[in-house]
Each structure stands twice: as structure tokens, then as C-alpha cells.
């Protein structure tokens, strides 16, 4: 049915004429576009008429109380969960709802999960090497050689994530914060257009948080970054634009000052937190 509809629409060429892995089209601004997305689990609406637009190169923070649908939203974007209705577009050419997880990943959407998983037995350098976009079939992997170009790319990412001096150390000995940065580095090796970062500073020390803030703000511009985070201080330090989710929909959007002075936000989220802190 949707196929027939796509044949009927005049403003697009036929789907099968557009190669799926063609470069992302961001000429119209947004790199990610969610419209009226709804998903329910056993009748519970985890996401309810969600509308969200992320511009190319933007750094966006998404906050919201537990159960607001932050993780489900990430799952929908990466193809892990199919919404019941709505549209999810990557650029103005790629309908993410028609793609599976690996396709979406290869399109340039990288996701960093909450718990860092790096390969502890391998060195920092080797972790980045494995993460690099390359021919990942067996024989090319067996005969792969290190060359200057690959080394330069890895060095570049090592500098970005600030682990250049630890390149030869095993990832297992890294601190929690360093593992988080390494994992962000592993995502960067795949040259993503959009990074989804889930609670990057949970469990980090004050200094590590500062470094992470620098890292993420440095990444924005070159790629778009969406950060889901609980830590208000951290969000305040990096965000130019904040989206507050509540009960599966967008409650407020704007600068940190705007949203934190929004009475509805104060009520559902900041207020709740203030109460918690008071207790």
C-alpha cells in the first residue's frame, strides 16, 4: 500500500531508483526528522505523537524523567524498535522506517550505549582499528595491512578523544571515563553523520565531565550530536538547545534557561528533582 502511495507521489523519484546507501541529503537543513511517531507496548504508549527535528551539525540535549520515552526514541531511530505510526527521516532522502539496524548504522548513525563496552584485551589503538569503516569480510580482514592513511585517521580520533598517550595500553586498564571516550572514538571511526549518546557522564568524576563536555561540544558542527542525559549541570554546560520529553511527547523545547523557567517543565521534571533533592 505504501509502495503504491510512493508511486503516486509526484515530488519524488521512485524509491527503487534511489540507492539506499546514497549520501545523506541535508540541503533542507534537518538531518533527523521525526513526525507524529507513536509506539505502544501492551497498550502503554511509550512514545505519543512525538515530533522532533535535529539540524545538521547541531548539539541537542534531551532530558526527561524516567519513562519519558528517551531510550525508546533512540531505539526507533536506530531501527531496533518499529513505531506503530509516524515518520522518521534521515536527511530528506532516507526513510529510516524501511531500513534495518545494520543499514541504518552504515548510513552514518552511531549510537553509544549507556554502559561502555570496549574490547578490554585489545589496546586503545586496536579498538579504534576494529571500529574503523572498512571491508569487514573474512579474507580482507585476514590480509588487512596497516597503512599511513589508516594510521592518520586513528591518530586523529585519538587526539579528538584525548587518549593519544594511552594508545598502546590495553583498554581494560582504562578508567570508566576513558572507556566512555574510547567508545565515542570507536563511533567516530565510522565517520557518523549523527551521534546518539546515551547518558555519557553517568558515574563520571567532575573533571571527566568537563572533558566530556569539551569533547561533545567539539564534535558538534562536524557531526550532529544528540545527548540523552539526566545530569542537569552537565546539560547546562553543553546545551544550546534542550528538548524536554514527558510521557512520550515533547513538553518543551528551547535554550536551557527557557525550558527551566517553563512552569510545566518545572512541575514534571525539575520540580520533581528539586523535591528529591529536598528529601
Partner 1 sequence: MQSRSWLMRPFGERSTLIFLGVLLATMALVTLLHVAVPAGHPLYVSAYTVNLFGKYLSYALLAVAVDLVWGYLGILSLGHGAFFALGGYAMGMYLMRQIGDRGVYGHPVLPDFMVFLNWDSLPWYWHGFDMAGFAFLMVLLIPGALALMFGFLAFRSRVTGVYLSIITQALTFALMLAFFRNEMGFGGNNGLTDFREILGFNLRSSDTRLGLFLATGVALALGYVLCRAIVTSKLGRVCVATRDAEARTRFLGYRVERFQLFVFVVSAMLAGLAGALYVPQVGIINPSEFSPLFSIEIVLWVALGGRATLYGAVIGAILVNYAKTVFTGVMPDAWLFALGGLFVLVTVFLPRGVAGLLALRLRRRGDSDASLSAKEAAA
Binding site residues, partner 1, CB under 8 A? 102, 105-106, 117-122, 126, 129-131, 136-138, 141-147, 170, 172, 186
User: By C-beta, is 131 or 265 nearer to partner 1?
Assistant: 131
User: By C-beta, is 171 or 259 nearer to partner 1?
Assistant: 171
- Please state the closest distance from residue 21 (CB atom) to partner 1, in A: 13
Question: What sign has the CA pseudo-torsion 140, 142, 148, 150?
Answer: positive
Which H or E run includes 174?
A: none
User: What would the grid cell of residue 240 be?
Assistant: 544550546
User: By C-beta, is 127 or 243 nearer to partner 1?
Assistant: 127
- Please state the closest distance from residue 129 (CB atom) to partner 1, in A: 7
Distances (CA, A) of 89 to 54, 62, 124: 11, 18, 34
Categorise residue 168: left if φ over 0, alpha if ψ from -120 to 50, beta otherwise: alpha
User: By C-beta, is 129 or 253 nearer to partner 1?
Assistant: 129
Asked if residues 224 and 56 have their Cβ atoms less than 8 Å apart, the reply is yes
- Give 62-110 as a 3 state SS string: EECCCCCCHHHHHHHHCCCCCCCEEEEEECCCEEHHHCCHHHHHHHCEE
User: By C-beta, is 5 or 145 nearer to partner 1?
Assistant: 145
- Please state the closest distance from residue 132 (CB atom) to partner 1, in A: 9
- Please state the closest distance from residue 142 (CB atom) to partner 1, in A: 4
Categorise residue 152: left if φ over 0, alpha if ψ from -120 to 50, beta otherwise: alpha
- Please state the closest distance from residue 73 (CB atom) to partner 1, in A: 19
3-state secondary structure of 229: coil
- Please state the closest distance from residue 156 (CB atom) to partner 1, in A: 18
- Please state the closest distance from residue 158 (CB atom) to partner 1, in A: 16
User: By C-beta, is 105 or 266 nearer to partner 1?
Assistant: 105
User: By C-beta, is 58 or 198 nearer to partner 1?
Assistant: 198
Nearest-angstrom CA–CA distance, 59 and 128: 24
Asked if residues 268 and 248 have their Cβ atoms less than 8 Å apart, the reply is no
Asked if residues 137 and 106 have their Cβ atoms less than 8 Å apart, the reply is no
Nearest-angstrom CA–CA distance, 132 and 121: 18
Amino acid at each position: 500500500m505504501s509502495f503504491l502511495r510512493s508511486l503516486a507521489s509526484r515530488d519524488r523519484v521512485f524509491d527503487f531508483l534511489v540507492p539506499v546507501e546514497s549520501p545523506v541529503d541535508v540541503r533542507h537543513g534537518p538531518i533527523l526528522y521525526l513526525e507524529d511517531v507513536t509506539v505502544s507496548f501492551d497498550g502503554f504508549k511509550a512514545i505519543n505523537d512525538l515530533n522532533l527535528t535535529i539540524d545538521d551539525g547541531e548539539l541537542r540535549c534531551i532530558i526527561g524523567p524516567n519513562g519519558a520515552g528517551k531510550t525508546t526514541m533512540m531505539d526507533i531511530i536506530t531501527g531496533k524498535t518499529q513505531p506503530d505510526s509516524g515518520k522518521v527521516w534521515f536527511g530528506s532522502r532516507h526513510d529510516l522506517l524501511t531500513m534495518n539496524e545494520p543499514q541504518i548504522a552504515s548510513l552514518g548513525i552511531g549510537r553509544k550505549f549507556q554502559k561502555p563496552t570496549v574490547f578490554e584485551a585489545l589496546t586503545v589503538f586496536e579498538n579504534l582499528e576494529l571500529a574503523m569503516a572498512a571491508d569487514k569480510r573474512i579474507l580482507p580482514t585476514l590480509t588487512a595491512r596497516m597503512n599511513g592513511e589508516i594510521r592518520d585517521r586513528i591518530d586523529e580520533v585519538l587526539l579528538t578523544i584525548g587518549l593519544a598517550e594511552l594508545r598502546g595500553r590495553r583498554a581494560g586498564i582504562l578508567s570508566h571515563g576513558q572507556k566512555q571516550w574510547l567508545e565515542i572514538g570507536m563511533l567516530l571511526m565510522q565517520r557518523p553523520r549523527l551521534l546518539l549518546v546515551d547518558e555519557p557522564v553517568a558515574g563520571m568524576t567532575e573533571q571527566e565531565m568537563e572533558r566530556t563536555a569539551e569533547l561533545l561540544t567539539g564534535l558538534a558542527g562536524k557531526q550532529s550530536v544528540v545527548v540523552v542525559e539526566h545530569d542537569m549541570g552537565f546539560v547546562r554546560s553543553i546545551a544550546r538547545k534542550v528538548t524536554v520529553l514527558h510521557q512520550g511527547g515533547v513538553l518543551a523545547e528551547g535554550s536551557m534557561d527557557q525550558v527551566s523557567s517553563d512552569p510545566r517543565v518545572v512541575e514534571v521534571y525539575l520540580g520533581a528533582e528539586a523535591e528529591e533533592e529536598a528529601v
